Structure 1
Protein backbone atom coordinates (compact mmCIF):
# COMPACT_ATOMS: atom_id res chain seq x y z
CA UNK A 1 0.00 0.00 0.00
CA UNK A 2 1.27 3.48 -0.87
CA UNK A 3 2.19 5.74 2.03
CA UNK A 4 1.65 9.47 1.62
CA UNK A 5 1.56 12.65 3.62
CA UNK A 6 -1.34 15.06 3.90
CA UNK A 7 1.10 17.93 4.05
CA UNK A 8 1.47 19.73 0.74
CA UNK A 9 2.56 18.74 -2.71
CA UNK A 10 5.32 16.43 -1.58
CA UNK A 11 2.90 13.65 -0.66
CA UNK A 12 0.94 14.13 -3.88
CA UNK A 13 4.08 13.91 -5.99
CA UNK A 14 5.12 10.75 -4.14
CA UNK A 15 1.74 9.17 -4.79
CA UNK A 16 1.88 10.11 -8.47
CA UNK A 17 5.38 8.70 -8.75
CA UNK A 18 4.35 5.36 -7.30
CA UNK A 19 1.20 5.31 -9.44
CA UNK A 20 3.26 6.03 -12.55
CA UNK A 21 5.61 3.17 -11.73
CA UNK A 22 2.64 0.87 -11.25
CA UNK A 23 1.24 1.85 -14.64
CA UNK A 24 4.60 1.31 -16.33
CA UNK A 25 5.03 -2.04 -14.60
CA UNK A 26 1.55 -3.05 -15.76
CA UNK A 27 2.35 -2.02 -19.31
CA UNK A 28 5.58 -4.01 -19.27
CA UNK A 29 3.75 -7.06 -17.93
CA UNK A 30 1.12 -6.79 -20.67
CA UNK A 31 3.86 -6.41 -23.28
CA UNK A 32 5.63 -9.53 -21.97
CA UNK A 33 2.36 -11.47 -22.09
CA UNK A 34 1.71 -10.22 -25.64
CA UNK A 35 5.20 -11.24 -26.77
CA UNK A 36 4.81 -14.65 -25.15
CA UNK A 37 1.43 -15.07 -26.84
CA UNK A 38 2.90 -14.04 -30.20
CA UNK A 39 5.75 -16.54 -29.82
CA UNK A 40 3.35 -19.32 -28.85
CA UNK A 41 0.95 -18.56 -31.70
CA UNK A 42 3.90 -18.39 -34.10
CA UNK A 43 5.16 -21.76 -32.88
CA UNK A 44 1.70 -23.27 -33.26
CA UNK A 45 1.38 -21.87 -36.78
CA UNK A 46 4.81 -23.24 -37.73
CA UNK A 47 3.88 -26.72 -36.47
CA UNK A 48 0.56 -26.58 -38.32
CA UNK A 49 2.25 -25.55 -41.56
CA UNK A 50 4.76 -28.36 -41.21
CA UNK A 51 1.95 -30.86 -40.59
CA UNK A 52 -0.04 -29.59 -43.57
CA UNK A 53 3.07 -29.76 -45.76
CA UNK A 54 3.69 -33.38 -44.80
CA UNK A 55 0.01 -34.23 -45.28
CA UNK A 56 -0.17 -32.87 -48.84
CA UNK A 57 3.25 -34.41 -49.60
CA UNK A 58 1.99 -37.94 -48.90
CA UNK A 59 -1.18 -37.40 -50.94
CA UNK A 60 -1.19 -38.42 -54.62
CA UNK A 61 -0.24 -35.40 -56.72
CA UNK A 62 -3.45 -34.76 -58.63
CA UNK A 63 -5.83 -35.10 -55.65
CA UNK A 64 -3.55 -32.72 -53.74
CA UNK A 65 -3.73 -30.18 -56.56
CA UNK A 66 -7.52 -30.53 -56.75
CA UNK A 67 -7.60 -29.84 -53.02
CA UNK A 68 -5.58 -26.70 -53.74
CA UNK A 69 -8.11 -25.61 -56.36
CA UNK A 70 -10.93 -26.11 -53.86
CA UNK A 71 -9.12 -24.12 -51.18
CA UNK A 72 -8.40 -21.34 -53.65
CA UNK A 73 -12.06 -21.21 -54.70
CA UNK A 74 -13.09 -20.95 -51.04
CA UNK A 75 -10.60 -18.14 -50.48
CA UNK A 76 -12.11 -16.16 -53.35
CA UNK A 77 -15.79 -17.03 -53.05
CA UNK A 78 -16.38 -17.75 -49.36
CA UNK A 79 -13.68 -15.77 -47.55
CA UNK A 80 -13.70 -13.24 -50.42
CA UNK A 81 -10.10 -12.30 -49.68
CA UNK A 82 -9.44 -9.10 -51.69
CA UNK A 83 -12.07 -10.19 -54.21
CA UNK A 84 -13.47 -6.67 -54.82
CA UNK A 85 -9.94 -5.50 -55.73
CA UNK A 86 -9.45 -8.47 -58.06
CA UNK A 87 -12.77 -7.85 -59.83
CA UNK A 88 -12.03 -4.12 -60.16
CA UNK A 89 -8.57 -4.81 -61.62
CA UNK A 90 -9.98 -7.27 -64.17
CA UNK A 91 -12.73 -4.86 -65.22
CA UNK A 92 -10.14 -2.13 -65.66
CA UNK A 93 -7.85 -4.37 -67.73
CA UNK A 94 -10.64 -5.96 -69.79
CA UNK A 95 -13.45 -3.39 -70.03
CA UNK A 96 -15.21 -5.29 -72.85
CA UNK A 97 -15.54 -8.57 -70.96
CA UNK A 98 -18.94 -9.66 -69.69
CA UNK A 99 -19.40 -9.71 -65.92
CA UNK A 100 -19.69 -13.51 -65.97
CA UNK A 101 -16.32 -13.80 -67.74
CA UNK A 102 -14.70 -11.46 -65.22
CA UNK A 103 -15.99 -13.63 -62.36
CA UNK A 104 -14.80 -16.80 -64.13
CA UNK A 105 -11.27 -15.41 -64.58
CA UNK A 106 -11.21 -14.28 -60.94
CA UNK A 107 -12.31 -17.74 -59.76
CA UNK A 108 -9.61 -19.40 -61.87
CA UNK A 109 -6.97 -17.04 -60.48
CA UNK A 110 -7.83 -18.05 -56.91
CA UNK A 111 -7.79 -21.74 -57.89
CA UNK A 112 -4.36 -21.29 -59.49
CA UNK A 113 -3.06 -19.70 -56.29
CA UNK A 114 -4.38 -22.65 -54.32
CA UNK A 115 -2.50 -25.07 -56.57
CA UNK A 116 0.66 -22.96 -56.34
CA UNK A 117 0.48 -23.14 -52.55
CA UNK A 118 0.06 -26.92 -52.56
CA UNK A 119 2.98 -27.34 -54.95
CA UNK A 120 5.29 -25.20 -52.81
CA UNK A 121 4.26 -27.01 -49.62
CA UNK A 122 5.00 -30.34 -51.30
CA UNK A 123 8.35 -29.02 -52.54
CA UNK A 124 9.30 -28.01 -48.99
CA UNK A 125 9.04 -31.70 -48.01
CA UNK A 126 9.81 -33.68 -51.18
CA UNK A 127 12.26 -31.34 -52.92
CA UNK A 128 12.59 -31.01 -56.69
CA UNK A 129 11.88 -34.72 -57.19
CA UNK A 130 8.21 -33.69 -57.02
CA UNK A 131 8.64 -31.77 -60.30
CA UNK A 132 10.26 -34.55 -62.30
CA UNK A 133 8.51 -35.22 -65.59
CA UNK A 134 6.12 -32.30 -65.09
CA UNK A 135 8.09 -29.35 -66.46
CA UNK A 136 9.13 -28.51 -70.03
CA UNK A 137 11.58 -25.65 -70.69
CA UNK A 138 11.46 -23.71 -73.95
CA UNK A 139 14.25 -21.31 -74.87
CA UNK A 140 16.72 -22.42 -72.22
CA UNK A 141 19.57 -21.55 -74.57
CA UNK A 142 18.77 -17.84 -74.14
CA UNK A 143 19.73 -18.05 -70.47
CA UNK A 144 22.92 -19.97 -71.15
CA UNK A 145 23.90 -17.40 -73.79
CA UNK A 146 23.24 -14.50 -71.43
CA UNK A 147 25.58 -15.98 -68.81
CA UNK A 148 28.45 -16.37 -71.26
CA UNK A 149 29.17 -12.66 -70.86
CA UNK A 150 30.28 -13.32 -67.28
CA UNK A 151 28.12 -10.56 -65.78
CA UNK A 152 25.29 -12.72 -64.53
CA UNK A 153 21.69 -12.31 -65.64
CA UNK A 154 18.63 -10.64 -64.18
CA UNK A 155 15.55 -12.84 -64.45
CA UNK A 156 12.47 -10.75 -65.14
CA UNK A 157 9.25 -12.51 -64.26
CA UNK A 158 5.74 -11.72 -63.03
CA UNK A 159 2.96 -13.23 -60.94
CA UNK A 160 2.10 -15.71 -63.69
CA UNK A 161 1.79 -19.46 -63.28
CA UNK A 162 3.86 -20.79 -60.38
CA UNK A 163 6.53 -18.09 -60.27
CA UNK A 164 8.02 -19.41 -57.02
CA UNK A 165 8.94 -22.61 -58.83
CA UNK A 166 11.27 -20.82 -61.27
CA UNK A 167 14.08 -20.29 -58.78
CA UNK A 168 13.81 -23.86 -57.50
CA UNK A 169 14.13 -25.26 -61.03
CA UNK A 170 17.04 -22.96 -61.88
CA UNK A 171 18.89 -24.02 -58.74
CA UNK A 172 18.23 -27.69 -59.52
CA UNK A 173 19.85 -27.18 -62.94
CA UNK A 174 23.02 -25.82 -61.37
CA UNK A 175 22.41 -22.05 -61.47
CA UNK A 176 23.05 -19.95 -58.36
CA UNK A 177 19.94 -17.88 -57.67
CA UNK A 178 19.34 -14.79 -55.53
CA UNK A 179 15.69 -13.80 -55.04
CA UNK A 180 14.52 -10.33 -54.02
CA UNK A 181 11.67 -10.80 -51.57
CA UNK A 182 9.33 -8.41 -49.77
CA UNK A 183 8.40 -10.90 -47.07
CA UNK A 184 5.07 -11.61 -45.39
CA UNK A 185 3.68 -9.54 -42.52
CA UNK A 186 2.99 -12.57 -40.31
CA UNK A 187 6.37 -13.34 -38.74
CA UNK A 188 5.81 -17.09 -38.31
CA UNK A 189 4.49 -17.51 -41.83
CA UNK A 190 7.35 -15.42 -43.25
CA UNK A 191 9.93 -17.48 -41.36
CA UNK A 192 8.40 -20.77 -42.54
CA UNK A 193 8.22 -19.61 -46.15
CA UNK A 194 11.76 -18.22 -46.12
CA UNK A 195 13.21 -21.34 -44.51
CA UNK A 196 11.43 -23.56 -47.03
CA UNK A 197 12.85 -21.59 -49.96
CA UNK A 198 16.36 -21.50 -48.53
CA UNK A 199 16.23 -25.25 -47.94
CA UNK A 200 15.59 -25.60 -51.68
CA UNK A 201 18.83 -23.74 -52.41
CA UNK A 202 17.60 -20.18 -52.94
CA UNK A 203 19.28 -17.12 -51.46
CA UNK A 204 16.68 -14.62 -50.26
CA UNK A 205 17.46 -10.91 -50.00
CA UNK A 206 15.01 -8.44 -48.37
CA UNK A 207 13.90 -5.81 -50.88
CA UNK A 208 15.27 -2.89 -48.83
CA UNK A 209 18.74 -4.44 -48.63
CA UNK A 210 18.80 -5.97 -52.08
CA UNK A 211 20.71 -3.65 -54.41
CA UNK A 212 24.30 -4.25 -53.27
CA UNK A 213 23.71 -7.94 -52.56
CA UNK A 214 22.32 -8.40 -56.06
CA UNK A 215 25.25 -6.57 -57.65
CA UNK A 216 27.63 -8.90 -55.79
CA UNK A 217 25.69 -11.92 -57.06
CA UNK A 218 25.81 -10.65 -60.65
CA UNK A 219 29.56 -10.06 -60.43
CA UNK A 220 29.85 -13.78 -59.57
CA UNK A 221 27.86 -14.61 -62.73
CA UNK A 222 24.82 -15.71 -60.73
CA UNK A 223 21.12 -15.16 -61.45
CA UNK A 224 19.01 -12.51 -59.73
CA UNK A 225 15.23 -13.00 -59.79
CA UNK A 226 13.02 -9.92 -60.06
CA UNK A 227 9.18 -9.84 -60.03
CA UNK A 228 8.31 -6.58 -61.74
CA UNK A 229 4.49 -6.43 -61.70
CA UNK A 230 4.24 -4.85 -58.26
CA UNK A 231 2.82 -1.46 -57.40
CA UNK A 232 5.11 1.24 -56.03
CA UNK A 233 4.53 4.67 -54.56
CA UNK A 234 4.86 7.60 -56.94
CA UNK A 235 7.97 8.77 -55.05
CA UNK A 236 9.74 5.40 -55.44
CA UNK A 237 8.63 4.25 -58.89
CA UNK A 238 8.13 5.23 -62.51
CA UNK A 239 4.93 5.14 -64.54
CA UNK A 240 4.71 2.75 -67.48
CA UNK A 241 1.83 1.54 -69.66
CA UNK A 242 0.15 -1.59 -68.32
CA UNK A 243 -2.98 -2.88 -70.05
CA UNK A 244 -3.38 0.54 -71.62
CA UNK A 245 -3.19 2.43 -68.33
CA UNK A 246 -0.32 4.12 -66.46
CA UNK A 247 0.97 1.94 -63.63
CA UNK A 248 3.73 2.73 -61.14
CA UNK A 249 6.47 0.12 -60.78
CA UNK A 250 10.08 0.05 -59.68
CA UNK A 251 12.91 1.19 -61.97
CA UNK A 252 15.31 -0.93 -59.89
CA UNK A 253 15.62 -3.69 -62.47
CA UNK A 254 16.60 -1.28 -65.25
CA UNK A 255 19.06 0.54 -62.96
CA UNK A 256 20.60 -2.74 -61.84
CA UNK A 257 21.02 -3.93 -65.42
CA UNK A 258 22.59 -0.63 -66.49
CA UNK A 259 24.86 -0.50 -63.43
CA UNK A 260 26.09 -4.10 -63.65
CA UNK A 261 26.01 -4.65 -67.41
CA UNK A 262 23.94 -7.80 -66.84
CA UNK A 263 21.31 -8.60 -69.48
CA UNK A 264 17.67 -9.03 -68.50
CA UNK A 265 16.17 -12.41 -69.40
CA UNK A 266 12.34 -12.61 -69.32
CA UNK A 267 11.23 -15.99 -67.93
CA UNK A 268 7.64 -17.05 -67.27
CA UNK A 269 5.97 -20.10 -65.78
CA UNK A 270 2.85 -21.24 -67.63
CA UNK A 271 0.59 -23.99 -66.29
CA UNK A 272 -0.34 -26.26 -69.19
CA UNK A 273 -2.58 -28.66 -67.28
CA UNK A 274 -3.45 -29.62 -63.72
CA UNK A 275 0.07 -30.88 -62.98
CA UNK A 276 2.23 -29.82 -65.97
CA UNK A 277 4.16 -26.61 -66.50
CA UNK A 278 6.05 -24.90 -69.29
CA UNK A 279 8.92 -22.53 -68.52
CA UNK A 280 9.23 -19.99 -71.33
CA UNK A 281 12.61 -18.25 -71.63
CA UNK A 282 12.69 -15.25 -73.99
CA UNK A 283 15.72 -13.60 -75.66
CA UNK A 284 17.85 -11.37 -73.40
CA UNK A 285 17.33 -7.61 -73.24
CA UNK A 286 20.66 -5.78 -73.23
CA UNK A 287 21.25 -3.06 -70.60
CA UNK A 288 20.84 0.59 -71.51
CA UNK A 289 24.10 2.49 -71.88
CA UNK A 290 22.93 5.92 -70.74
CA UNK A 291 21.26 5.84 -67.31
CA UNK A 292 19.16 8.98 -67.78
CA UNK A 293 15.58 8.98 -66.51
CA UNK A 294 13.98 8.60 -69.93
CA UNK A 295 16.09 5.57 -70.87
CA UNK A 296 15.43 3.93 -67.52
CA UNK A 297 11.69 4.50 -67.88
CA UNK A 298 11.69 3.08 -71.41
CA UNK A 299 13.72 0.06 -70.27
CA UNK A 300 11.29 -0.50 -67.42
Structure 2
Protein backbone atom coordinates (compact mmCIF):
# COMPACT_ATOMS: atom_id res chain seq x y z
CA UNK A 1 0.00 0.00 0.00
CA UNK A 2 2.79 2.45 0.87
CA UNK A 3 4.50 1.78 -2.45
CA UNK A 4 1.28 2.50 -4.36
CA UNK A 5 0.65 5.71 -2.40
CA UNK A 6 4.22 6.90 -2.90
CA UNK A 7 4.10 6.14 -6.62
CA UNK A 8 0.76 7.91 -6.89
CA UNK A 9 2.24 10.99 -5.20
CA UNK A 10 5.28 10.83 -7.47
CA UNK A 11 3.18 10.61 -10.63
CA UNK A 12 0.89 13.39 -9.38
CA UNK A 13 3.80 15.75 -8.77
CA UNK A 14 5.46 14.75 -12.03
CA UNK A 15 2.32 15.60 -13.99
CA UNK A 16 2.24 19.16 -12.60
CA UNK A 17 4.10 22.17 -13.93
CA UNK A 18 7.35 22.66 -12.02
CA UNK A 19 6.11 25.71 -10.13
CA UNK A 20 3.05 23.88 -8.78
CA UNK A 21 5.16 20.88 -7.77
CA UNK A 22 7.58 23.14 -5.90
CA UNK A 23 4.74 24.97 -4.17
CA UNK A 24 3.36 21.65 -2.90
CA UNK A 25 6.85 20.63 -1.78
CA UNK A 26 7.20 23.91 0.07
CA UNK A 27 3.91 23.29 1.84
CA UNK A 28 5.04 19.80 2.86
CA UNK A 29 8.26 21.28 4.20
CA UNK A 30 6.32 23.71 6.38
CA UNK A 31 4.06 20.92 7.64
CA UNK A 32 7.07 18.81 8.60
CA UNK A 33 8.64 21.76 10.40
CA UNK A 34 5.46 22.58 12.33
CA UNK A 35 4.29 19.03 12.96
CA UNK A 36 7.47 17.27 14.10
CA UNK A 37 9.30 18.47 17.19
CA UNK A 38 12.35 16.32 16.41
CA UNK A 39 12.54 17.58 12.81
CA UNK A 40 12.11 21.19 13.95
CA UNK A 41 14.74 20.86 16.68
CA UNK A 42 17.41 19.47 14.33
CA UNK A 43 16.54 21.98 11.63
CA UNK A 44 16.70 25.06 13.87
CA UNK A 45 19.83 23.95 15.69
CA UNK A 46 21.82 23.32 12.52
CA UNK A 47 20.50 26.20 10.44
CA UNK A 48 20.64 28.92 13.09
CA UNK A 49 24.13 27.87 14.21
CA UNK A 50 25.42 28.13 10.63
CA UNK A 51 23.67 31.48 10.14
CA UNK A 52 25.27 32.90 13.29
CA UNK A 53 28.77 31.69 12.41
CA UNK A 54 28.65 32.77 8.78
CA UNK A 55 26.70 35.99 9.21
CA UNK A 56 23.93 35.29 6.74
CA UNK A 57 20.35 36.34 7.57
CA UNK A 58 18.34 33.56 9.22
CA UNK A 59 15.14 33.02 7.21
CA UNK A 60 13.86 30.01 9.09
CA UNK A 61 10.42 29.76 7.43
CA UNK A 62 11.88 30.22 3.96
CA UNK A 63 14.46 27.53 4.72
CA UNK A 64 11.79 25.11 6.01
CA UNK A 65 9.79 25.68 2.85
CA UNK A 66 12.85 25.21 0.62
CA UNK A 67 13.68 21.93 2.35
CA UNK A 68 10.34 20.54 1.17
CA UNK A 69 11.02 21.84 -2.31
CA UNK A 70 14.23 19.80 -2.37
CA UNK A 71 12.02 16.70 -2.08
CA UNK A 72 9.58 17.80 -4.79
CA UNK A 73 12.43 18.91 -7.08
CA UNK A 74 13.90 15.41 -6.87
CA UNK A 75 10.60 13.72 -7.69
CA UNK A 76 9.93 16.08 -10.60
CA UNK A 77 13.45 15.65 -12.04
CA UNK A 78 13.19 11.85 -11.83
CA UNK A 79 10.02 11.79 -13.91
CA UNK A 80 10.74 14.73 -16.21
CA UNK A 81 14.48 14.54 -16.99
CA UNK A 82 14.26 16.14 -20.44
CA UNK A 83 12.13 19.03 -19.18
CA UNK A 84 14.38 19.40 -16.14
CA UNK A 85 17.47 19.66 -18.36
CA UNK A 86 15.78 22.42 -20.36
CA UNK A 87 15.15 24.28 -17.07
CA UNK A 88 18.83 24.09 -16.08
CA UNK A 89 21.28 26.94 -16.66
CA UNK A 90 24.92 25.83 -16.49
CA UNK A 91 27.82 27.99 -15.30
CA UNK A 92 31.51 27.16 -15.68
CA UNK A 93 31.06 24.08 -17.91
CA UNK A 94 34.59 24.64 -19.17
CA UNK A 95 35.77 23.60 -15.69
CA UNK A 96 34.16 20.17 -16.18
CA UNK A 97 35.44 19.73 -19.73
CA UNK A 98 38.96 20.68 -18.74
CA UNK A 99 38.95 18.24 -15.83
CA UNK A 100 37.58 15.25 -17.77
CA UNK A 101 39.93 15.91 -20.69
CA UNK A 102 42.92 15.32 -18.43
CA UNK A 103 42.13 11.62 -18.78
CA UNK A 104 42.09 10.62 -15.11
CA UNK A 105 38.33 10.65 -14.70
CA UNK A 106 36.38 13.05 -12.51
CA UNK A 107 35.25 13.00 -8.87
CA UNK A 108 32.03 15.00 -8.71
CA UNK A 109 30.80 16.07 -5.28
CA UNK A 110 27.17 17.10 -4.87
CA UNK A 111 25.71 18.15 -1.52
CA UNK A 112 21.97 17.90 -0.82
CA UNK A 113 21.07 21.38 -2.00
CA UNK A 114 18.40 22.69 -4.38
CA UNK A 115 17.87 20.52 -7.45
CA UNK A 116 20.94 18.36 -6.86
CA UNK A 117 19.39 15.40 -8.71
CA UNK A 118 19.73 17.23 -12.04
CA UNK A 119 23.54 17.35 -11.80
CA UNK A 120 24.39 13.73 -12.72
CA UNK A 121 21.85 13.91 -15.55
CA UNK A 122 23.65 16.91 -17.02
CA UNK A 123 26.97 15.07 -16.83
CA UNK A 124 25.44 11.91 -18.32
CA UNK A 125 24.73 13.88 -21.51
CA UNK A 126 28.49 14.00 -22.07
CA UNK A 127 30.14 10.96 -20.45
CA UNK A 128 29.29 7.94 -18.27
CA UNK A 129 28.86 8.53 -14.53
CA UNK A 130 28.96 6.01 -11.69
CA UNK A 131 27.10 7.33 -8.64
CA UNK A 132 27.53 6.09 -5.08
CA UNK A 133 24.29 5.96 -3.09
CA UNK A 134 23.06 4.61 0.22
CA UNK A 135 20.08 2.27 -0.25
CA UNK A 136 16.97 3.10 1.77
CA UNK A 137 16.25 0.85 4.74
CA UNK A 138 12.77 -0.02 3.45
CA UNK A 139 12.81 -2.29 0.39
CA UNK A 140 9.68 -0.70 -1.09
CA UNK A 141 11.14 2.81 -0.81
CA UNK A 142 14.47 1.72 -2.22
CA UNK A 143 12.72 0.18 -5.25
CA UNK A 144 10.87 3.45 -5.91
CA UNK A 145 14.06 5.52 -5.60
CA UNK A 146 16.06 3.23 -7.87
CA UNK A 147 13.30 3.34 -10.46
CA UNK A 148 13.14 7.13 -10.30
CA UNK A 149 16.89 7.62 -10.54
CA UNK A 150 17.40 5.26 -13.49
CA UNK A 151 18.78 7.20 -16.45
CA UNK A 152 20.94 6.43 -19.52
CA UNK A 153 24.71 6.67 -18.99
CA UNK A 154 24.24 6.73 -15.18
CA UNK A 155 25.12 3.71 -13.05
CA UNK A 156 24.25 3.67 -9.34
CA UNK A 157 26.30 1.53 -6.94
CA UNK A 158 25.73 0.95 -3.20
CA UNK A 159 27.96 2.25 -0.40
CA UNK A 160 29.90 -0.97 0.15
CA UNK A 161 33.17 -2.55 -0.97
CA UNK A 162 31.65 -3.74 -4.25
CA UNK A 163 30.42 -0.21 -5.02
CA UNK A 164 33.82 1.34 -4.25
CA UNK A 165 35.51 -1.18 -6.56
CA UNK A 166 33.16 -0.23 -9.37
CA UNK A 167 33.95 3.44 -8.83
CA UNK A 168 37.67 2.68 -8.96
CA UNK A 169 37.20 0.88 -12.26
CA UNK A 170 35.22 3.85 -13.63
CA UNK A 171 38.08 6.22 -12.78
CA UNK A 172 40.54 3.84 -14.44
CA UNK A 173 38.43 4.12 -17.62
CA UNK A 174 38.60 7.93 -17.37
CA UNK A 175 34.91 8.27 -16.44
CA UNK A 176 33.14 10.32 -13.77
CA UNK A 177 32.11 9.15 -10.33
CA UNK A 178 29.63 10.92 -8.05
CA UNK A 179 29.59 11.11 -4.24
CA UNK A 180 27.20 12.87 -1.85
CA UNK A 181 29.88 14.23 0.49
CA UNK A 182 27.57 15.56 3.23
CA UNK A 183 26.26 12.13 4.26
CA UNK A 184 27.52 10.57 7.50
CA UNK A 185 29.60 7.46 6.65
CA UNK A 186 29.43 4.18 8.55
CA UNK A 187 31.62 3.76 11.60
CA UNK A 188 35.21 3.10 10.59
CA UNK A 189 34.80 4.77 7.19
CA UNK A 190 35.29 8.36 8.32
CA UNK A 191 37.13 10.86 10.49
CA UNK A 192 35.83 13.59 12.77
CA UNK A 193 36.43 17.00 11.17
CA UNK A 194 34.96 20.49 11.75
CA UNK A 195 31.76 21.31 9.88
CA UNK A 196 30.19 24.70 10.58
CA UNK A 197 32.14 24.80 13.84
CA UNK A 198 31.20 21.36 15.19
CA UNK A 199 32.83 17.91 14.84
CA UNK A 200 31.13 15.92 12.06
CA UNK A 201 31.99 12.36 11.08
CA UNK A 202 33.25 12.85 7.52
CA UNK A 203 33.89 10.45 4.65
CA UNK A 204 37.49 9.86 3.60
CA UNK A 205 36.46 8.29 0.28
CA UNK A 206 36.64 11.32 -2.08
CA UNK A 207 40.21 12.15 -1.06
CA UNK A 208 41.33 8.51 -1.16
CA UNK A 209 39.97 7.95 -4.67
CA UNK A 210 41.15 11.30 -6.02
CA UNK A 211 44.68 10.96 -4.63
CA UNK A 212 45.04 7.35 -5.78
CA UNK A 213 44.28 8.19 -9.42
CA UNK A 214 45.45 11.84 -9.53
CA UNK A 215 41.84 12.64 -10.37
CA UNK A 216 40.45 16.20 -10.49
CA UNK A 217 37.65 16.95 -8.02
CA UNK A 218 34.76 19.28 -8.86
CA UNK A 219 32.11 20.52 -6.43
CA UNK A 220 28.68 21.00 -8.03
CA UNK A 221 25.63 22.91 -6.87
CA UNK A 222 22.19 23.33 -8.43
CA UNK A 223 20.65 26.43 -6.89
CA UNK A 224 16.89 26.83 -7.32
CA UNK A 225 16.37 30.08 -9.23
CA UNK A 226 12.77 30.71 -8.21
CA UNK A 227 9.38 29.09 -8.20
CA UNK A 228 9.05 27.24 -11.51
CA UNK A 229 12.20 28.82 -12.95
CA UNK A 230 14.54 25.83 -12.76
CA UNK A 231 18.09 25.68 -11.43
CA UNK A 232 21.47 27.32 -11.83
CA UNK A 233 24.14 24.62 -11.93
CA UNK A 234 27.65 25.70 -11.00
CA UNK A 235 30.95 23.80 -11.05
CA UNK A 236 33.96 24.67 -8.88
CA UNK A 237 37.23 22.77 -9.17
CA UNK A 238 38.82 22.02 -5.81
CA UNK A 239 42.51 21.99 -5.00
CA UNK A 240 44.12 18.58 -4.60
CA UNK A 241 43.37 17.00 -1.24
CA UNK A 242 46.07 16.51 1.35
CA UNK A 243 47.50 13.01 1.75
CA UNK A 244 46.81 13.29 5.49
CA UNK A 245 43.28 11.88 6.13
CA UNK A 246 42.42 14.32 8.91
CA UNK A 247 43.51 17.33 6.89
CA UNK A 248 41.73 16.11 3.74
CA UNK A 249 38.44 15.70 5.65
CA UNK A 250 38.74 19.25 6.95
CA UNK A 251 39.41 20.44 3.39
CA UNK A 252 36.35 18.54 2.17
CA UNK A 253 34.07 20.05 4.82
CA UNK A 254 35.35 23.55 4.06
CA UNK A 255 34.44 22.99 0.39
CA UNK A 256 30.98 21.69 1.32
CA UNK A 257 30.38 24.73 3.53
CA UNK A 258 31.32 27.05 0.65
CA UNK A 259 28.88 25.21 -1.63
CA UNK A 260 26.06 25.43 0.92
CA UNK A 261 26.62 29.16 1.45
CA UNK A 262 25.78 29.75 -2.22
CA UNK A 263 22.14 29.17 -1.22
CA UNK A 264 21.99 28.33 2.51
CA UNK A 265 18.18 28.15 2.69
CA UNK A 266 18.19 25.35 0.12
CA UNK A 267 20.30 22.87 2.10
CA UNK A 268 18.78 19.85 3.91
CA UNK A 269 19.29 21.22 7.44
CA UNK A 270 17.13 18.61 9.20
CA UNK A 271 19.62 15.86 8.33
CA UNK A 272 21.61 14.92 11.45
CA UNK A 273 25.07 15.64 10.07
CA UNK A 274 26.58 15.56 13.56
CA UNK A 275 25.39 12.15 14.72
CA UNK A 276 27.77 9.54 16.14
CA UNK A 277 27.54 6.44 13.92
CA UNK A 278 27.79 3.00 15.50
CA UNK A 279 31.36 1.77 15.48
CA UNK A 280 32.96 5.21 15.15
CA UNK A 281 35.32 6.52 17.80
CA UNK A 282 33.88 9.24 20.08
CA UNK A 283 34.06 12.78 18.68
CA UNK A 284 36.71 15.13 20.07
CA UNK A 285 35.71 17.35 22.93
TM-score normalised by L of structure 1: 0.74
How far residue 281 of structure 1 moved from its aligned partner, in angstroms, is: 0.7
- Equivalent position to 2:114, from 151, 161, 175: 161
CA distance in 2, matches of 1:231, 1:124: 24
Task: Report the CA distance shift for 1:284/1:278 in structure 2 as closer, same or farther (over 3 A).
Answer: same
How far residue 201 of structure 1 moved from its aligned partner, in angstroms, is: 4.6
Residue 75 of structure 1 contacts residue 81 of structure 1 at CA under 8 Å; is this kept in 2? Answer: no
Matched, 1:121 2:78: no
Residue 154 of structure 1 contacts residue 224 of structure 1 at CA under 8 Å; is this kept in 2? Answer: yes
When you count helix as a share of all residues, which structure comes out higher? 1
TM-score normalised by L of structure 2: 0.77
How far residue 166 of structure 1 moved from its aligned partner, in angstroms, is: 1.0
Matched, 1:281 2:235: yes
CA distance in 2, matches of 1:165, 1:280: 12
* Secondary structure of 1:185 counterpart: coil
Unaligned runs of 5+ in 2: 253-285
Deviations 1:233-280 (A, max 9, x none): 674322333223332201111011111221111111111211321111
Residue 91 of structure 1 contacts residue 97 of structure 1 at CA under 8 Å; is this kept in 2? Answer: no
Task: Report the CA distance shift for 1:263/1:74 in structure 2 as closer, same or farther (over 3 A).
Answer: same
* Secondary structure of 1:82 counterpart: helix
Residue 265 of structure 1 contacts residue 282 of structure 1 at CA under 8 Å; is this kept in 2? Answer: yes
Residue 264 of structure 1 contacts residue 284 of structure 1 at CA under 8 Å; is this kept in 2? Answer: yes
* Secondary structure of 1:72 counterpart: helix
Unaligned runs of 5+ in 1: 1-43
- Equivalent position to 1:195, from 140, 143, 147: 147
Q: Which has the greater radius of gyration?
A: 1
CA distance in 2, matches of 1:261, 1:194: 31
How far residue 141 of structure 1 moved from its aligned partner, in angstroms, is: 0.5
Deviates most, 112-121 or 214-223: 112-121
Higher RCO by CA contacts (8 Å cutoff, separation 6 or greater): 2
How far residue 149 of structure 1 moved from its aligned partner, in angstroms, is: 1.5
How far residue 181 of structure 1 moved from its aligned partner, in angstroms, is: 0.7
Task: Report the CA distance shift for 1:270/1:123 in structure 2 as closer, same or farther (over 3 A).
Answer: closer
Equivalenced residue count is 249
Q: Note the aligned Cα RMSD (angstroms).
A: 2.6
How far residue 207 of structure 1 moved from its aligned partner, in angstroms, is: 0.9
Residue 269 of structure 1 contacts residue 280 of structure 1 at CA under 8 Å; is this kept in 2? Answer: yes
Residue 255 of structure 1 contacts residue 296 of structure 1 at CA under 8 Å; is this kept in 2? Answer: no
Matched, 1:76 2:33: yes
Residue 193 of structure 2 contacts residue 246 of structure 2 at CA under 8 Å; is this kept in 1? Answer: no
